[in-house]
Amino acid sequence: MSILDALFYIQDYHDSTFAFRYACRGAICGSCGMTIDKVPMLACRTQVSTVKTNKKPINLPEVVFGDISDWDQDNEILIEPLPNMTVIKDLVVDMEPFWKFYREVEPYFTKDWNDIAPESTQSPNDMKTIERLVYCILCGICWMCPVNAKNPEYLGPAQLAKSDRFIRDSRINEEKQERVLSRVLQNDAVPACEKFFVCNRVCPKSVMPGTAIKDIRDQWINE
């Protein structure tokens, strides 16, 4: 039984008003991100039977949602919302700040309506440079980053990883690359990263956002 299955059981048999997000149930959509035993994870891919035995990421920041003094850490699973986001109800958080910053890095391809050229292609070697970054499912788990906790204007690890994906994409024209770079090199973006690498340790898809941020810094700031 997954944590998501357990949440459905609670909703069906104990509290029909219990609120949480889900969609694909297959670790593709990123909707069911939440904090499980103080670690942000996807509920759909986390098994109840292994929560206590699985090796947990090290050096995660402490996140406090309320009084948990009566939590039996050995025998009870603690489920909380994602950190550093406003809670709307139960396990549902307001993702609008996440999406607002996401839109700022223009994470999409653009093409002039009058452009009749065929679709852009990409070589396998060019694809390899961005392949890891493409796997991001925008779950928001990486917002456990301590910088997000203290700076609400920080662009965020997922957003910066996504920007690196488009900066490096061989199909992106120079004008857009410069526009995205201009945004992510502002003080509330790449320079604000303090290299905690919490995002690397909790990412369920091994996107390694912290490494992407470091790559941008090394290539465009420290060059």
Parallel/antiparallel/unpaired status of strands 79-80 and 33-36: antiparallel
pLDDT tens track for 35-66? 999 999 999 999 999 999 998 898 899 988 99
Q: Give the domain-ending residue among 43, 76, 93.
A: 93
Looking at residue 120, its pLDDT comes to 76
Please check whether residues 179 and 111 belong to one and the same domain.
yes
Same domain, 68 and 86: yes
107 and 72 in a common domain:
no
Burial of 154 (0-12, 13-18, 19+ CB in 10 A): buried
Q: Cα separation of 37 and 46, whole Å? A: 11
- Assess whether 47 and 153 both reside in one domain: no
Beta strands in 30-183 (DSSP E): 33-36, 39-42, 79-80, 87-89, 92-93
164 and 106 in one domain? yes
The residue that leads in pLDDT, 114 or 15, is: 15
Element (H, E) at 4: helix 3-13
Bridge partner residues of 93 (DSSP): 87
Give the residue from 63, 93, 123 where a domain finishes.
93
CATH code for position 121: 1.10.1060.10
Cα 122 from Cα 145, distance rounded (Å): 33
Is residue 114 located within the same domain as residue 19?
no
Write down the pLDDT at residue 162. 97
Considering the domain architecture, whether residues 110 and 70 belong to the same structural domain is answered as no
Question: pLDDT-based confidence at 223, cuts 50/70/90?
Answer: low
Rg of the chain over all Cα atoms, to the nearest angstrom: 19
| Distance between start and end Cα atoms, the chain | 50
Pick from 93, 125, 153: which residue ends a domain?
93
Number of domains in the chain: 2
Instruction: Residue 11: give the domain boundaries.
Output: 3-93
Q: Are residues 104 and 28 in the same domain?
A: no
Question: Is 86 found in the same domain as 26?
Answer: yes
Q: Are residues 136 and 66 in the same domain?
A: no
Average pLDDT value for residue range 176-195:
96
80 plus 151 within the same structural domain: no
β-pairing, 92-93 vs 79-80, is unpaired
- CATH number, position 70: 3.10.20.30
Quick: pLDDT tens for 129-154: 999 999 999 999 999 999 999 999 99
Cβ atoms of 199 and 133 closer than 8 Å? no
Query: By C-alpha distance, which of 146, 119, 155 is closest to 59?
Result: 146
Question: What is the band of 178 on the pLDDT scale with cuts at 50, 70, 90?
Answer: very high
| Residues of the chain above pLDDT 90, percent | 86
Residues 56 and 128 in one domain: no
